[in-house]
Structure 1
Amino acid sequence: SHSSSEIKKLFNDSTYFKNFNKKNAVSTDVGLFSNKLITSPEGLYKFYKLYLYKCQHLLKIIHQDQSNKADTLFIQRIDNLSNNLCKVIDLCEMVRSLHPNEQYVNMANQIYDEMFEFMNILNTDIILYNNLNRVMKNKDRLNLDEEETIVGQILLDDFNKSGLFMNDDKIKDQFITISSQISQLGQEFVISGQEPPFDEQNNDSIWEVSLEQLKKSLPETVYDNLPMKKTNYLFKNPDKIKLNKNNFFLLYQINKYSSNEELRKKTWAYMNMSNGDQISKLSTLLKLRLRLANLLNEKNFNSYQLKNKLIGNSDNVKLLLTNLVKDFKPEATKELAVLADDKTSKVNAWDKEYLQQKNLKLNCVPQLKLNLGSVMSELFYLLSKLYSLKFVVKPMSAKETWCESVRKVEIYDTKTDKIKGLLYLDLFHRDYKTPNASHFTVTTSKKLNDQEIVYEKEDINATCIISDNVQLPIIVINTSIYDPNSISKSDMDTIFHEMGHAMHSILSLTKLQNCSGTRCVADFVELPSILMELFSSDPKVLANVIGGENTDIKLPKENFKALEMIQQIKLSLLDYKFHQATKESDLDEEKLITTYHNLEKEVDILPDTVTNWFGKFGHLFGYGSSYYTYILDRIIAIKIYEKLFSKNPYNSVSGELLKDNLLKYGGSRSPWECLADVFDNKELIKGDKKAIEYI
C-alpha cells in the first residue's frame, strides 16, 4: 500500500503519475481491462460474438434438458446466462459513455443494440417463462435457497413486464404496444425537456422591459455587464428593450440582482416555464401508464410499480412523505426567516436568489480548500478502517485503459490479503465523455459454479478475474474534475457518493449475479452511496482532508438543508399524485397543472402557483412512481449514521456490522431484514406501517 503523501501525488500530480506508470507498467499483450481480445473496436466485436455464442449455447442446454436436475439447476443456469449478457452490455455501456475513441463508441453502440435484440428474444421466450413458473411454484420441493427464490422472483417479474403471462394474444399485443409507446414517448419527454420554453418563431419569445426600470433596480456593475444587444428597435423606442425569454443567463441575472419584485417574478416565471408540448407529452405518457396498469388489473400505476419495492405500497409512500412535510416544514420556515432578514412580507419562490445574494451573513461562508489527492487519501484511509480493506494504485500499460489519466486501484482484504476487486477511477473532465457522475459495474462479484469455472478457465479472453472460484468485481467511477489541486466540497461529496456504490459492489458476495451489489430493489440502491455522503460532511473526516491534526477548522454551514429536503419531498409528492390517478380524465393537461399548483399551495414553502415547471422534470419518466427513493434512502442513511458513526466515523466495529448485516447481501436478502439487524429491531422485518413510521 502507499503512504498518504504518495497517494496525494498520484492523484494531484499528472507528471508524477505518468512517471509512476512508465517506470512500473509491465508491457503485456493485453487490451482494455486486461482483456486479450479488446485491443481494437473489431476486438470488442469479437469479444461480444464470443459471449453471444456462450449465451446461445446455454440457452440450448436450458431448452433441451429434460433430466430430473433441470428444474433444480434452472435459476442457476439462467443467472449464468444473465452474467454473460451483462459482461457485454455493461462493458459497452461504459465504453459508449467514457471512451474518447469514436470508433470504439460506435462499435459499443452497435453491440449494445444487437445484444438488446437477443435480450428481447429471451424476454419473450415462452419455454423459459413456463419453466420458471413451474420452478417457482415448486420452490419448496426443489429446496431453492433464499437467494435463488429472490432471483427467481426478479426474473419472473421481468418476464411479466413483457406480457408473457397473458393468455389472450389481443391483450398481450396491446401490452407490448403500450410498453413500447411509453418507452419512446418517455425518451422524447426527457430530451425535449431541455428545449427553450418559448417559440422563437413568434412574439411569445420576446419580452419588452422598461430600460429605466431595469437600470434603477440593478446594481450598476451588474447592469453594465448585462449581455444585451442594442437592436434597431431600441433606438426607435428608447424607453423599452426587447429581451429574449429564452436567454436564461440574462433572466437569471435580473432575478438574482433586481430590487424590483415584479421584474424578479417575471424573469423567474420565464425561466421555469416548460415548452408548450411538454405537458401534452406528459399527459399522454401518464395515461399510457394508467392503461398499462389497468391491463394488469391494477387500479393505478403506483400499485403496479411499487409491489416488490422496499416501501411496499402507495399508502406507505403517502405516509412517509406527509410525515416528512410535518417534520421539515418548521425548520424550513425558520430558514426562510433567516433568508428574508429585512423582508417583512412572505418570501416567494422568485425572491430566494435575490435575498440569498443580499444576505451578508449567508455570504460570509468560508470556502474549503480541497485537493483531489487529500480527498482520495482520506477516503482510502476511512474505508480501510471501516471494512478492513487495502487500496493499492497499480500501473497500467496504455492498452489496458481508455485514457492515460485513469487510475487503477486494486482492493485487498487485509484480514486474508486476498484481492476483493478492481477499481478504475476516471475522475477528470474530458470532452466527449458523459459529464454526469456515474458508477459502472463492468463485472459483478459472484461465486462461480462448476460449469462457469470450466467456461472461464478455458477462455483466456474473458473480462473476468477469478480468485478462489469467485468472479471479482470490476468497477469504474466517473466524475468531471477540472483541476485536482482545487476541487469543491460538492466534488468531494460526489466522489464519496460514487464510492458508496462501488463498496456495495466490492463487499457483496452472492452466488448469483442478479442480486449482487447494486442489483437490489430500486428504492434501496442509493442507501450505501448517500451514507458515504454523510461521511464526507463529518467534521472529523473534513478536518483530516483539510489540515491533518488541526481540527480547529471553520467548516461551512449548510444553510438550507430543510428547504432542500422540502423541495425533494414536493417532487416526490408530485410523482406520487400523478401516478395515483385512477381515471384518464384526471390526467388531462389542465388537471395536471391544477394538481401541481394545489400541491405547491398545500406544502406552502416557496410555492409555485404560476408556472408549469413540472414539464422539465425528466425524472417523472425515469423514476415513474419511485422518486421518493432518494428521500427514503437519505432518511434511513441519516438514522444509520447517527446510530453507528456519529461519535466516531472510523469505528471498525460499526463498519463490520454494516458490512455483515447489509452490504454483503447486495439484493439477496429482504432489505427490511437487513435494516432490522442494523438497528437491532426485529419489528422492522415486516416492512409495514410501523416500520415506515420508525424510519
Structure 2
Amino acid sequence: MYATYTLIILLLKSTDMLQSVPPRPWICARCLGRRASVVLQRRSFQQQAREALDVADANPVYHSQVGERFDDSLLRQIFDSPSVWNAFGKASGRPHVGLFRNAFLTGPEGFHAFARASLRRSQKIVEKVLQASTVEEYRCIVRDLDRLSDILCRHLDMTEFLRAHHPDPRVQQAAEESWYAVYQYMNELNTTTELNDQLGRALGNKEVTATWSEEDMTVAQILKLDFTKSAVDLPQASRDRFVQVSQRITEVGNAFTDSMAPEQRQLVLPSSKFQGMDPVLARRLTRRGYLYLPTLSAEAAVALRSVHDPETRKAIYYASRTASKHSVKLLEEMVRLRAELARLSGFDSYATMTLRDRMMARNPESVNQFLLALTKKNAPVVQQEMVDLLAEKKRRGGSAHLLEPWDREYYAEAIRRSMKMTPNKDDFLSAYFSLGTVMQGLSRIFSRLYGVRFVPTETLPGETWHPDVRRLDVVSDTDGHVAVLYCDLFYRESKPPNPAHFTVRCSRELSPEEVAEAAEDFAFAEAPHSPTFSSHEEAANDGMSLSKQSGALKQLPTIALVCDFPQTATSSSRPALLNFFQMETLFHEMGHAVHSVLARTSRQVVSGTRCATDLAELPSTLMEYFAADPATLALFARHHETDEPLRYDLVAERLRLSKRFEGSDTEHQIVLAMLDQELHSPHAPERNFDSTAMYHELQRRYCSTPPDPPGTRWQGFFGHLFSYGSTYYSYLFDRVLAERVWRVAFNAGAQGGALDRANGEHVKESLLRWGGSRDPWRCLADTLRDDRVADGGERAMAIVGSWGASSVFKE
C-alpha cells in the first residue's frame, strides 16, 4: 500500500501515507555513478566490492558501464552485508544535517522552528492571494495555492511520518506538537471562504485562464472542488457543524479500528477436537487437555484449513466471523455521521461526495456498473471452484450436495496439498531472494524499462531516523539525480508493521520569486533554532535535495519505503532472505515509489501518486506481474550461496497454488466493495438501518460461495471502511487495470516484453509521467491504445469490469 494523508482542502491526496550542510552540487549521471568508489577509503571494503563485481561480471544477464556495475554490486552488498553497510553508509566527523537533510530537524527543538517557518510562509501566501485584484495577480493564484499546499504538505507529511516511525520518544513528541500546530492552522484555512471566492474569480476570468496550462487548470479544479466539499458556501452555523461532524467522524473511525474485537475472544475446546492441526502448534496452545484458540489469529486460520472435525471448524468459523456488538455500533455511527456530512455539503450521499473528488469512477452508478460487470465475468470461475470443492468433499466421504461456509478453506487446502510437487516451497524459494539481490533486481528492471537506477549514497549524521535506514539516490540516464529514496526495510519491535510508501516531499518546480523570498525570509532569521543556509535555493527547500531539469529548478521527490523484513545478526554472513510473498510486497511498494520518481509535473498537488485515488494502486499492482515474470527473475534471482539461477518451474508452482481459488477470493472482495457502496448510499444510514442484514443480503444475491450464517457479523472487522469509505472498489479496479496493462502494454512478458525499453517508455509517457495532472481516462486509453475508455463514465467502467481480474503468469 501507499500511505495516504487526506485533508479537506489543501493537503489533498498524498500517497498512497509518506530532509545544514552546504548544498551538494548537481552531479551528472556518469559522475554520480563513480561517486561511491571515491567515498570509500577502506581497503578491505574495496576488496570486497571488487570481488562482488567480479561475480557480477560473470553474470551474463546484466551489462552496463563500469561505474554503474560498481553501484549495482554495491547495492546488493549494503542490504545483504551489515558489515559492508557499516563501512559505507555512515559519514563521521560532520555536523548533524537534520532528518531527511531538512536543516530544521537537527533535534527535537527544531520541529517547533520548522512549524513556525511553515506557518510564516503560509500566512504570507494567504495574504497575497486574498489581496489579488489585477488580472496578473489572479493568474498567479494557482501557483500560489499549490505552493501553499506544498508548504503544508511538506510539514505535515514529514512530521506525521516521524511521529510514527522515529524511535526516540522526544522526537515523537516534538513531531506530534509540531504537526498539531500546523494542522490547526490548516483547519482554519478550511473555513476561509475568501480563498474560495478568490479562486472562483480567477476561474471565471477568461483573461486569467487563457494563460494557464492544462496542469494549472486541473489543479484549480481540484482545489475548487475541495472547497465545495468543505462546505465553505454554507452559513456559519452549518460550517461549524461541518467541522464538528468531521472531527466526530475521525474520533469514531479511530475508535472503530482501534477497538475492533470479536464477540468471543477465545475459543476453548478439548484438544482431541483439533486432529489434523499441526501437532507442534496444537501443543503450544494446549493446557490440561484443552486447546485455547485466539479467535482472530493466524492460529485460527490454520485450524480452519486443517482440522478434520466439521463441528470444530464451525465453532471456529462462527467465532472468527462475529464482531462484537460494540464494533458494529461504532461502524454504524460512523456511517450515519458521514451521511450528515454529505448532506451539509449539499450531496445526496457520502459516496457521491467522495467519488466526485479525484476518482475515475466519478459517481456511485459507475462503481455499480464496474462491480456488476466484474461479477458476471468472475461468476463462471467461482462456480467451477465450488464444483471442485464439492468433489473433494465427496472424495473424503462428505456430502456432495452441500458446501458449508466452514468447509471452503479446509477442502481448498486439501486440493492445494495434492497439487504440491516440492515441500517447503517458500523456504526453498527464499534462498534465491536475498534482500540485496531483490533490490539489485528492481534497479536493473527500472534501468531497462525507464532509464532510472538506484545509487547507494552515504548517510550524513542525523539524516536518518534509525541506523538500519539506507539512502538510495535515483539517477536518470537523461536527467541526472531525480529522487531520493530512504529504505527502512528491517523489522523492529517498536516499528509500525505494515509495509508502505510515504512521499515525504513531492516533486515541484520552484519559481525564481519564491527562491528570492526564501533568501529574504532567512537572511536575518533570529528565531530560536532557525538554521542557516549557504544559498537561496537551499533555503527555499529547507536544505533538502534539488536539481535542475530542463532549465527549471525542482525539489526532488523524497520517499520513505518501510517494510518489516527479518534481519540477520550483524556478525552473520547470511543475508536477509525473503519469501516469495515478501519479495512481491517489495515490488509492490517500489511500484508506488517509481510512480513518484517518474512523474514530471510542475505542481505538487498533482505530483506522482497524487493522482485519481482509484488509479493510485495501478503502478504498484502492475509491479507484482514483474515479480512473477521469468525474464525479470532471471535478472537477479540467484542462490545466495551458490549463485545458481532460480528454476522458474518452482515459481510457477507457487503461483498455481496461490491463485488456485482466486475466483472466490475475488468474489469476496466484490461483495465487500458492494457493501462499502451500500453503506454510503443515500438510503442506508437511516435511523434503524442494519449493516449485518445488508451484508448478508449482498452475499445471498451475488455470491456463488456459501454466505455467512445468521448470527455472524463480519462487517464489524471491515476496518478499511474508515480509511477507504466508498472507495474500497479501487483495489479491484486497479487489479483489473494492472492485468490489462501487463497483457497489452508488456505483452504479458512474452518475447521479452517485460524488459523492452520501448514498452517501458510507452507506459512512462502515457501514464506515469502525468501524476494527477491529466485526465486519468485519457492516460489509460493511451496506455492501452483503446479509445473506448477515453471519456470515462458508466460505459467505460463496465468495459473495465468485463476485462476481469484473473492473474496472468508464465507456466
Q: How does 1:51-90 map to 2 (within 5 A)?
A: 51-90=118-157
**In structure 2, how many angstroms separate the alpha carbons of the residues matched to 1:639 and 1:325?**
17
Aligned residues: 672
Q: How does 1:557-636 map to 2 (within 5 A)?
A: 557=656, 558=658, 559-582=660-683, 584-585=685-686, 588=688, 591-602=690-701, 603-610=703-710, 611-636=712-737
Q: How does 1:436-515 map to 2 (within 5 A)?
A: 436-456=498-518, 457-458=535-536, 460=538, 462-468=542-548, 469-483=553-567, 484-515=575-606
Question: Aligned-pair distance for 1:140?
Answer: 6.2
SS at the partner of 1:41?
coil
Q: What TM-score, normalized to structure 2?
A: 0.78
RMSD across aligned C-alpha pairs, in angstroms?
2.6
Question: Aligned-pair distance for 1:244?
Answer: 7.2
SS at the partner of 2:563?
strand
State the match for 1:680 in structure 2: 785
Q: Are the equivalent residues in 2 in contact too, given 1:445–1:471 (CA < 8 A)?
A: yes
2:323 aligned to which of 255, 274, 285: 274
Q: Does 1:151 align with 2:229?
A: no
CA deviations 1:406-428 (Å, max 9, x no partner) are 11111111134x21111111111
Q: 1:97 to 1:139 in 2, by over 3 A?
A: farther
CA deviations 1:413-447 (Å, max 9, x no partner) are 1134x211111111111122211111111211112
Q: Structure 2: which amino acid aligns with 1:467?
A: S
Q: Structure 2: which amino acid aligns with 1:638?
A: E
State the match for 1:114 in structure 2: 181
State the match for 1:383 in structure 2: 446
**In structure 2, how many angstroms separate the alpha carbons of the residues matched to 1:567 and 1:463?**
48
**In structure 2, how many angstroms separate the alpha carbons of the residues matched to 1:433 and 1:328?**
39
Q: Alignment identity in percent? A: 29
SS at the partner of 1:69?
helix
SS at the partner of 2:94?
coil
Question: Aligned-pair distance for 1:270?
Answer: 0.4
CA deviations 1:262-289 (Å, max 9, x no partner) are 2211111101210111222222222222
Q: 1:59 to 1:534 in 2, by over 3 A?
A: same
**In structure 2, how many angstroms separate the alpha carbons of the residues matched to 1:520 and 1:111?**
27
CA deviations 1:60-110 (Å, max 9, x no partner) are 222334344221111111111111111111111221222111111111111
SS at the partner of 2:330?
helix
Q: Structure 1: which amino acid aligns with 2:732?
A: I
Question: Aligned-pair distance for 1:362?
Answer: 4.0
Q: 1:139 to 1:504 in 2, by over 3 A?
A: farther
Q: Structure 1: which amino acid aligns with 2:536?
A: E
2:794 aligned to which of 664, 667, 689: 689
Q: Are the equivalent residues in 2 in contact too, given 1:443–1:464 (CA < 8 A)?
A: no
**In structure 2, how many angstroms separate the alpha carbons of the residues matched to 1:348 and 1:327?**
24
Q: Structure 1: which amino acid aligns with 2:403?
A: V
CA deviations 1:581-637 (Å, max 9, x no partner) are 42543x735x32111111112213242233101011011121111100111111111
Q: How does 1:254-293 map to 2 (within 5 A)?
A: 254-293=303-342
Q: Are the equivalent residues in 2 in contact too, given 1:522–1:629 (CA < 8 A)?
A: yes
Greater mean alpha carbon deviation, residues 682-691 or residues 262-271: 682-691
Q: Are the equivalent residues in 1 in contact too, given 2:267–2:295 (CA < 8 A)?
A: no
Q: Structure 1: which amino acid aligns with 2:221?
A: Q
Q: Are the equivalent residues in 2 in contact too, given 1:71–1:142 (CA < 8 A)?
A: no
Q: 1:643 to 1:96 in 2, by over 3 A?
A: same
**In structure 2, how many angstroms separate the alpha carbons of the residues matched to 1:219 and 1:671?**
49
Question: Aligned-pair distance for 1:207?
Answer: 6.2
Greater mean alpha carbon deviation, residues 326-335 or residues 652-661: 326-335
Q: Are the equivalent residues in 2 in contact too, given 1:245–1:270 (CA < 8 A)?
A: no
Q: Are the equivalent residues in 2 in contact too, given 1:163–1:176 (CA < 8 A)?
A: no
**In structure 1, how many angstroms separate the alpha carbons of the residues matched to 2:577 and 2:350?**
46
Q: 1:35 to 1:177 in 2, by over 3 A?
A: closer
Q: Structure 2: which amino acid aligns with 1:312?
A: R
1:20 aligned to which of 67, 74, 88: 88
Q: Are the equivalent residues in 1 in contact too, given 2:405–2:706 (CA < 8 A)?
A: yes
Q: Are the equivalent residues in 2 in contact too, given 1:543–1:551 (CA < 8 A)?
A: no
Q: Does 1:554 align with 2:650?
A: yes
Q: Are the equivalent residues in 2 in contact too, given 1:339–1:355 (CA < 8 A)?
A: yes
Q: Structure 2: which amino acid aligns with 1:444?
A: C
Q: Structure 1: which amino acid aligns with 2:695?
A: Y
State the match for 2:257 in structure 1: 190
Q: Are the equivalent residues in 1 in contact too, given 2:285–2:292 (CA < 8 A)?
A: no
1:221 aligned to which of 279, 286, 302: 279
Q: 1:249 to 1:486 in 2, by over 3 A?
A: closer
Question: Aligned-pair distance for 1:375?
Answer: 0.7
Q: Are the equivalent residues in 1 in contact too, given 2:132–2:138 (CA < 8 A)?
A: no
Question: Aligned-pair distance for 1:112?
Answer: 0.9
State the match for 2:375 in structure 1: 325
Question: Aligned-pair distance for 1:488?
Answer: 1.3
**In structure 1, how many angstroms separate the alpha carbons of the residues matched to 2:607 and 2:536?**
24
Q: Structure 2: which amino acid aligns with 1:664?
A: R
Q: What TM-score, normalized to structure 1?
A: 0.91
Q: Are the equivalent residues in 2 in contact too, given 1:290–1:582 (CA < 8 A)?
A: no
Q: Structure 1: which amino acid aligns with 2:109?
A: E
**In structure 2, how many angstroms separate the alpha carbons of the residues matched to 1:350 and 1:409?**
47
Q: Does 1:347 align with 2:403?
A: yes
SS at the partner of 1:544?
coil
Gaps of 5+ in 1: 199-204, 235-240
**In structure 1, how many angstroms separate the alpha carbons of the residues matched to 2:112 and 2:340?**
40
State the match for 1:541 in structure 2: 632
Question: Aligned-pair distance for 1:252?
Answer: 4.7
SS at the partner of 2:488?
strand
Gaps of 5+ in 2: 1-67, 395-399, 519-534, 568-574, 639-643, 801-811
Question: Aligned-pair distance for 1:206?
Answer: 7.6
**In structure 2, how many angstroms separate the alpha carbons of the residues matched to 1:522 and 1:219?**
42
Q: 1:72 to 1:44 in 2, by over 3 A?
A: same
SS at the partner of 1:686?
coil
Q: Does 1:426 align with 2:488?
A: yes
Q: Structure 1: which amino acid aligns with 2:410?
A: Y
Question: Aligned-pair distance for 1:253?
Answer: 5.5
Q: Are the equivalent residues in 2 in contact too, given 1:206–1:242 (CA < 8 A)?
A: no
Q: Are the equivalent residues in 1 in contact too, given 2:295–2:316 (CA < 8 A)?
A: no
State the match for 1:649 in structure 2: 754
**In structure 2, how many angstroms separate the alpha carbons of the residues matched to 1:473 and 1:581?**
40
State the match for 1:177 in structure 2: 244
State the match for 1:315 in structure 2: 365
CA deviations 1:113-161 (Å, max 9, x no partner) are 1110010111111221211121222256532322122111221222223
Q: Structure 1: which amino acid aligns with 2:632?
A: V
Question: Aligned-pair distance for 1:339?
Answer: 4.8
Q: 1:550 to 1:112 in 2, by over 3 A?
A: closer
State the match for 1:201 in structure 2: none
Q: Does 1:361 align with 2:418?
A: yes
Q: Are the equivalent residues in 2 in contact too, given 1:139–1:149 (CA < 8 A)?
A: no
Q: 1:553 to 1:164 in 2, by over 3 A?
A: same
Q: Are the equivalent residues in 1 in contact too, given 2:138–2:208 (CA < 8 A)?
A: no
1:403 aligned to which of 463, 466, 481: 466
CA deviations 1:459-489 (Å, max 9, x no partner) are 6450432212111111111111113532111
SS at the partner of 1:225?
helix
Ranked by relative contact order (alpha carbons within 8 Å, sequence separation 6 or more), the top structure is: 2
**In structure 1, how many angstroms separate the alpha carbons of the residues matched to 2:599 and 2:296?**
48
Question: Aligned-pair distance for 1:298?
Answer: 3.0
